[in-house]
Every structure is written in C-alpha cells, then in structure tokens.
Amino acid sequence: MKPLFIFFLCFLSLQVFSQSLEHATPEQLGMDSRRLHNADEAIFQAIKNRDIPGAVLAVVYKNKMVYLKAYGNKQVYPDTIPMDVNTVFDMASISKSMSTAISAMILMERGKLRMLDRVDRYIPGFQGNIRIQDLMTHTSGLPPYAPVDSLQRKYGSPNPDGLIEYIATCKRDYEPETHFQYSCLNFITLQRIIETISGKNLRNFAKENIFDVLGMTHTDYKPTGETLARVAPTEKQKDGSVLRGVVHDPLARVMNGGISGNAGVFSDANDLAILSVALLNNGEYNGHRILSPQGVKTMTTVPSQLSAFGRTPGWDVSSDYSSNKGDLLSPNTYCHTGYTGTSIVIDPDNKLAIILLTNRVHPEDKKGETVRLRSVVANAIAASIGCH
C-alpha cells in the first residue's frame, strides 16, 4: 500500500501544478469589467471587418487571470469551427522571446555564454564583429530575411546547416550597433549558438528548461497529440489544404524543419499567462524558477549603449514594432508580436499582461489589420485598472 500511496501523492502534486493560472473577477482586483468590454467591441469589429476570423484574449493582473475570452471562429475553411479559449496558436515571432531569448539567458546564468561574446566563437567563419547582444537586440546588421526558394534549390530542405552557412557569409547591411533592423536571421543564428553550447536542439532545450518547468502543457515546436488537435489553422496552400500544427514562417518550415530560433512555437493563452506571471515574478512561478531576477531584468531592459533603438535582449520596449502595447501602459512595458496575428504585452509596473491571439493569415494572408487592433485592445485594458 505504501508505494501506491506515494504514487497517489506524486500524481496529485502533478495535477495541482498542471492546473492553469488562478482566476479572479476584474472587480476583485480593482478593475472595471465594463471598461474591459471595450476590448471586446474592438475585437468583434475586427472580425466583422474580416481582418481576423477569431481571437482569444487573456488578461493577467496581479498574478491572476481576470479575463479569458474567445471570439469568432478558429477555422473558416474548409468548414467553420468556433474559437475556444483552449485554442493553440502558431506564435510566429513571439517564439524569439518566449523560447530562444530565454534559452540564451539561461545559458548566460550558467556561465556558458555572455552578451559580448562574438558569434564566430561558436560558429567558425561567421563574418563581421557581431556579438550575442547584437543578435538579441536586432542591431547586428544582418538582413531581415533570406531567400527561401534559392536556399532550398542550393542546399535542399530541411537543411539547417545550409541556412547557417548562408547567414555566416551573406552581405551585412550595416556595421553592428549602428542601426536597428529587425531580422529573423539574428535569432536563427542564436539558435545555432544555443544548440552548440547545450548539445541539444532548441525544442528539447526550451521544453526541458522553460515549458516543462513551468507546467506549460500545450506549448511546443511541432505539436502532437492533444496539443495538435487544438491548433488553429493558418494559411491555405496551393493544394487547398491549410497549415495546421506546421509553422507558417517559410524559413522555419522549409529550411529548419519546424524548429527554428525565429519561429515555430505553438502555445495557448493559458500557457502564455503562466509564462507572463513567471516573468512578472522575477523568473518564478508556483515555486518553479526558469530565470534569476537579474536574468529577467537584463532580458527586459534596453542596454544603455543601445537606448536609441528601443530593443531589449529578446523583447521590444520602444521601437517602431512596439505599438501593440498601446498608449496608456508604463514606460517599462515590454512586448512582442507574431506575423500570424499574435501579441503579448507585459507591464511590470502594473503587474499586468495582455495576451491577444489571432490567426489573421487564415484562410489567406491578406494583411488583415491587427496592428491597430492590438493597440486599442491594450488601451481599453489599461483604462480598466483602478476604476472599480
């Protein structure tokens, strides 16, 4: 009976930890739910305008989920499936922040990596005086993207080694730390460095050191099983099928086989809420730690010598890409967006996180208007604080 009892206790412990974030009503924490409905109206209007098929909105305040709501549909082709709050989304470029950047910070905390290390220390022959900090703040001078079709013809696919060979020697657009230019190649390069140091691929490293530690049960690259069944589809392909559980980003999908430093993570609002609380709590959630307080501070602070560019090592504070945080949140707010229509905003001063997930590229990538939507939703939520 004793082994059975121990098994039961372990199982119970696992069940408790795997539960989603504790919920509270907005009014219990001093927010005005009537003002939060202004965010609903903005999202419904975007659906009416056919900018997005649907959305999930999560609002985390003072370590609790105060608002979690689904809107519209997760799928409209070939048939219609309603959106629900457990829908898993292709996070696109938010993968850079929630996986690649945190993984790099973990290696820094372990004494394996430093911001001033040159890239060619880990990737022999990598051209230019580019450092880890330059990759993480998008000040390296690497071009924004790479020619997927020509790379596929030259190297075949998937071929991560061929992609890194291209990035190592491609033309640089400017000298490091002289300009800001958002580039997926920065984080694909960072992926290779993480994998070289750790001896594990990025998927396994992030899963073991971030997602599993925090109990993010529906977050992964190349999702399978129940997580895959929950995924919202993205773009319709030439053969009439839709991408579902396969990353939308072409470099990540074609050249990196779905595990990529720039994109590839799939997640849902509940898991992102847990990650947000961990970052708001200096790297710890429910007794489980992924980063030290110093690591979180470094990752969410713009380096002083790069203050003009507004990027932290992994997040955005005040660059031209930061409009998703709106107009009313604190100046220390950091954020990131994803091409597929995803957004996460974290305000440490107000202990607030805003997670807005859409699949705007479904069924077709028609450049649906989500830039303004993210801003007005953030404004409506910010305006609800302290108004009860």
CB 74 within 8 Å of CB 53: yes
Max alpha carbon distance in the chain (Å)?
A: 68
Per residue in 64-81, pLDDT tens? 999 999 999 999 999 999
Q: Could you tell me the pLDDT band of residue 20, with boundaries at 50, 70 and 90?
A: confident
Q: Is residue 56 included in any domain, yes or no?
A: yes
Q: Could you tell me the pLDDT band of residue 4, with boundaries at 50, 70 and 90?
A: very low
Per residue in 21-61, pLDDT tens? 999 999 999 999 999 999 999 999 999 999 999 999 999 99
Question: 274: closest CA among 352, 215, 333, 335?
Answer: 215
Q: Is residue 189 included in any domain, yes or no?
A: no
Q: What is the pLDDT of residue 366?
A: 86
Residue 17 pLDDT greater than 90, yes or no: no
Residue 2 pLDDT greater than 80, yes or no: no
Per residue in 31-41, pLDDT tens? 999 999 999 99
Percent of the chain with pLDDT over 70: 95
- Whole-angstrom Cα distance, residue 244 to residue 253? 12
How many Cβ atoms are within 10 Å of 331's Cβ, its own excluded? 9
Residue by residue, DSSP assigns 177-229 as TSS----HHHHHHHHHHHHHHHSS-HHHHHIIIIIHHHT-TT-EES--HHHHH
Tell me if residue 126 falls in helix, strand or coil: coil
Q: Specify the CATH number for the domain of residue 81.
A: 3.40.710.10
Q: Is residue 153 included in any domain, yes or no?
A: no
Q: Is residue 230 included in any domain, yes or no?
A: yes
Task: Find the mean pLDDT for residues 378-387.
Answer: 95
**Distances in Å between the alpha carbon of 261 and those of 79, 95, 135, 194, 202?**
33, 7, 11, 9, 7
Q: Is residue 235 included in any domain, yes or no?
A: yes
Question: 223: closest CA among 209, 194, 244, 201?
Answer: 244
Total structural domains in the chain? 1
Tell me the residue type at 259.
I
Q: Is residue 352 included in any domain, yes or no?
A: yes
376 φ/ψ angles, rounded to the nearest 5 degrees? -70, -35
- Whole-angstrom Cα distance, residue 322 to residue 196? 31
Q: What is the pLDDT of residue 108?
A: 98
Per residue in 111-143, pLDDT tens? 999 999 999 999 999 999 999 999 999 999 999
Task: Find the mean pLDDT for residues 138-163.
Answer: 98
Q: Is residue 388 included in any domain, yes or no?
A: no
Q: Is residue 297 included in any domain, yes or no?
A: yes
Residue by residue, DSSP assigns 231-288 as BPP-PBPTTS-B-SSS-S-HIIIIISTT--SSS-EEE-HHHHHHHHHHHHTTTEETTE
Per residue in 173-226, pLDDT tens? 999 999 999 999 999 999 999 999 999 999 999 999 999 999 999 999 999 999
Per residue in 226-279, pLDDT tens? 999 999 999 999 999 999 999 999 999 999 999 999 999 999 999 999 999 999
Q: What is the pLDDT of residue 19?
A: 61
Percent of the chain with pLDDT over 90: 93
Q: Could you tell me the pLDDT band of residue 18, with boundaries at 50, 70 and 90?
A: low
* Phi and psi based region of residue 81 (left: phi greater than 0; alpha: psi -120 to 50; beta: remaining): beta
Q: Which domain holds residue 84?
A: 22-95+109-114+200-382
- Whole-angstrom Cα distance, residue 318 to residue 312? 9
Residues 6+ apart with CB under 8 A from 29: 61, 62, 64, 66
- Whole-angstrom Cα distance, residue 135 to residue 129? 11
